[in-house]
Amino acid sequence: MKNVITILIIVFAFCYEGVAQNRSNLEKQKKELLTEIANIQNKLSNSKKEKKLILSNVEDVKYKTSLQERLIENINDQLNLIVLNIDQNEIELKRLRDKEISLKDELSKMILKTYKSKSSLNKIKYIFSSSSFYQAFKRIQYFKQYANYQSKTLSRLDVTKSEINKTIVLLDSQKTEKQLLIKENKLIRKELNVELLSLNQLVSRINQNQKEYAQQINSKQKLSREIDAKIQKIIADALAKSKRNEKGFELTAEAKLISKNFNANKGKLPWPVEKGYVVLGFGKQPHPIVKTATIQSNGVRIRTSENSYARSIFEGNVYSVILSKNNLYTILIQHGSFFTAYKNLEIIFVKKGEKVKLKQKIGVISTDKITKQTVLSFSIFKEGVPQNPGVWIYKM
């Protein structure tokens, strides 16, 4: 059993640094989620009474509920780490108490042995009964070492008792923190249920006038379709030039390698934003709120925070920069035979022909002046064919 405990202590010691780092990361993530939830709540408080913003309000409430769900997951992860720490410290406490018992037992035997010798006179007799000076010296050294060992054992016992008290205090603190997180989790779940009820009420209002809201959605979709058509035409022209052996899409050795590496990283590519949430998936689909409206999406739409940056998901070259009718930019980056498109940028940091690196910031994502939403439209194309980013991007 002692061997098992020793092994567990060693394992925990190696894991402790990683656990502490994970806890720190989770705390940072939790603060970011709470800040984003507060921002969304502030926006909703100012816009819920405006009928013209009901669609964006529904999207905001859905976004808020997704953040709350992520916050619940975050707290659950923190609880798991605390439970791990509690288990570790309880094992450590048992080890220390076993050590304390062992030291007390050892000390009691020493005291008993000292008592049996009755007096210091016996020690003197024992020393003077030596057959030689060397033997007498060794006996004196023995008594000194014995007294020193006894003193050290007492010190070790005091240190062990101190460590036991510290571990108990730490355990109490961790158990209190665990209870506080459980309480916080219950509160967030309660708030989430309130938001889900609010969401159902908003959707119910929209369902009463599906036709009006479907027209609003189709109007927004028109501009998006125009940009998508431009992107696909640019790629199609490049492919056509390549077939005619003209300059355009023809791949250099470097571009072929980039293309190969891009393909090899399928499912592992980074997100085009540092933090965000997919609000619209890939392909033809009914609108997530107004079911009578249909959306054709060549990529995904990612909701993120105001003043967020779009970043390249892989190394490549800026193939084209498109300025749309609403004065917002789309950047098209070539990665060999692959292209990625980043739409809805109000400021850009790169120009046509420029090389970009993995995770390089390429522009600032626009925030809608009316809805106050910050959304990046992102697409991936393989030899001109739209791909589902959810298959290529890590955990999308």
Domain range for 258 is: 210-392
- Per residue in 28-72, pLDDT (tens digit) is 989 988 988 888 888 777 666 666 667 777 888 888 898 899 999
Assess contact for 30 and 78: CB atoms under 8 A: yes
| Same structural domain, 248 and 124 | no
| Same structural domain, 228 and 113 | no
| Same structural domain, 278 and 137 | no
| Same structural domain, 143 and 23 | yes
> In the listed set 138, 172, 207, which residue is the last one of a domain according to the structure?
207
| DSSP symbols for 77-129 | HHHHHHHHHHHHHHHHHHHHHHHHHHHHHHHHHHHHHHHHT-SHHHHHHHHHT
> In the listed set 207, 222, 253, which residue is the last one of a domain according to the structure?
207
| Same structural domain, 261 and 387 | yes
| Same structural domain, 141 and 286 | no
How many Cα atoms are found within 13 Å in the side-chain-facing hemisphere of 141? Answer: 6
At residue 50, the pLDDT reads: 65
Average pLDDT, the chain: 82
Distance of alpha carbon 16 from alpha carbon 92, whole angstroms: 13
Q: Which residues lie across from 340 on neighbouring strands?
A: 333, 380
Judged against a pLDDT cut of 70, whether residue 127 lies above it is answered with no
| Same structural domain, 310 and 239 | yes
* Reported confidence tier of residue 251, pLDDT bands at 50, 70, 90: low
| Same structural domain, 28 and 62 | yes
| Same structural domain, 235 and 380 | yes
Residue 110, domain CATH: 1.10.287
Average pLDDT over residues 375-382: 95
| Same structural domain, 295 and 268 | yes
| Same structural domain, 196 and 227 | no
Q: Output the six-digit token pair for 114.
A: 């000292």
Residue 360, domain CATH: 2.70.70.10
At residue 207, the pLDDT reads: 72
What DSSP character marks residue 252? Answer: P
- Per residue in 330-356, pLDDT (tens digit) is 999 999 889 999 999 999 999 999 999
Whole-number CA gyration radius for the chain: 35
**In the chain, count of helices (H) and strands (E)?**
7, 12
> In the listed set 207, 230, 247, which residue is the last one of a domain according to the structure?
207
Please state the separation of Cα 166 from the chain's center in Å: 31
Domains identified in the chain, total number: 2
Range of weakest confidence among 5-9, 167-171, 252-256: 5-9
Range of weakest confidence among 13-22, 30-39, 296-305, 334-343: 13-22
- Per residue in 264-282, pLDDT (tens digit) is 999 999 999 998 888 888 9
User: What is the CB neighbour count within 10 angstroms for residue 117?
Assistant: 12
At residue 387, the pLDDT reads: 96
| Same structural domain, 53 and 168 | yes
